[in-house]
C-alpha cells in the first residue's frame, strides 16, 4: 500500500547513507538522461562554449601530435589532458566523456553535502545537495565538452579539504 511505500521512503531519507545514495543515483540519472537527449543534436560539440576546440586539442594530444591552438592562453590545460586521457581509453566517444563528467557531477552533489553540513548543519546540507541534483547548470555542464564540469567539483573539494584542515591541522 501507499503507507508502506511512504514509510520505506521516509526511512531511506532519514538515514544519512541512504539519503546520499539516493542523491548520487538521482544526480547521475538526470545527468545521463540529459546527455542522451543533448547528443541527439548533430551539433552536439557546440553545446559547450569551446567544445570543438577542446575536442580538437585533446584528440591531437591523445595521438601525440601538436595543434596550433595550444598557443591560445585561455584554454584549461588540465581539462584538455583529462579529455585526452578519456580519448586514449575510450576513443573519440563523446558519451563516455559525458558519462565520466556525469559521475563527477554526481560526486559534486556529495561533496556539496559534506561542505554544507560542516558549515551550516545537516538540514542545510540536505537542501543544498537536493538543489545540486536538479541544478540545470550542473546538469548541463556534465553534458557539454568543457572544463565547467570539473570546476565545481574541484572548488568544492578544495573547500572540503580546507574545512578538514581547520578541524585537525596537525593531521595535515
Distance from chain centroid for Cα 123: 23
Give me the pLDDT at residue 78, please. Answer: 86
Give me the pLDDT at residue 100, please. Answer: 97
Give me the pLDDT at residue 67, please. Answer: 65
Give me the pLDDT at residue 88, please. Answer: 94
Q: Measuring CA to CA, how many Å separate 51 from each of 63, 93, 138, 154? A: 18, 14, 16, 20
Give me the pLDDT at residue 68, please. Answer: 65
Q: Which of 103, 104, 81, 101 is nearest to 145 (CA)?
A: 101
Give me the pLDDT at residue 17, please. Answer: 93
Give me the pLDDT at residue 168, please. Answer: 86
Give me the pLDDT at residue 74, please. Answer: 64
Residue 124 in grid coordinates: 542545510
Query: H or E stretch including 39?
Result: none
What lies within 8 Å, CB to CB, of 62 at 6+ separation is 84, 85, 87, 88
**In the chain, where does DSSP find H-type helix?**
2-14, 16-38, 51-62, 77-90, 94-120, 122-134, 136-142, 148-167
Give me the pLDDT at residue 71, please. Answer: 59
Give me the pLDDT at residue 2, please. Answer: 85
List, for the chain, all residue ranges whose pLDDT scores fall below the cut of 50. Answer: none
Q: Are 31 and 152 in contact (CB under 8 A)?
A: no
Its pTM stands at: 0.87
Amino acid at each position: 500500500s501507499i503507507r508502506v511505500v511512504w514509510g520505506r521512503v521516509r526511512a531511506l531519507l532519514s538515514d544519512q547513507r541512504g539519503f546520499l545514495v539516493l542523491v548520487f543515483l538521482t544526480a547521475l540519472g538526470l545527468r545521463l538522461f540529459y546527455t542522451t537527449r543533448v547528443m541527439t543534436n548533430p551539433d552536439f560539440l557546440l553545446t559547450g562554449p569551446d567544445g570543438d576546440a577542446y575536442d580538437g586539442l585533446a584528440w591531437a594530444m591523445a595521438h601525440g601530435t601538436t595543434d596550433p591552438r595550444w598557443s591560445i592562453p585561455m584554454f584549461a590545460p588540465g581539462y584538455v589532458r583529462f579529455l585526452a586521457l578519456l580519448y586514449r581509453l575510450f576513443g573519440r566517444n563523446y558519451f563516455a566523456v559525458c558519462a565520466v563528467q556525469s559521475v563527477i557531477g554526481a560526486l559534486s552533489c556529495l561533496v556539496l553535502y559534506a561542505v554544507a553540513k560542516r558549515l551550516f548543519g545537516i538540514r542545510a546540507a540536505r537542501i543544498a545537495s537536493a538543489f545540486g541534483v536538479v541544478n540545470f547548470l550542473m546538469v548541463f555542464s556534465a553534458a557539454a565538452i568543457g572544463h565547467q564540469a570539473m570546476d565545481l567539483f574541484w572548488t568544492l573539494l578544495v573547500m572540503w579539504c580546507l574545512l578538514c584542515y581547520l578541524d585537525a591541522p596537525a593531521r595535515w
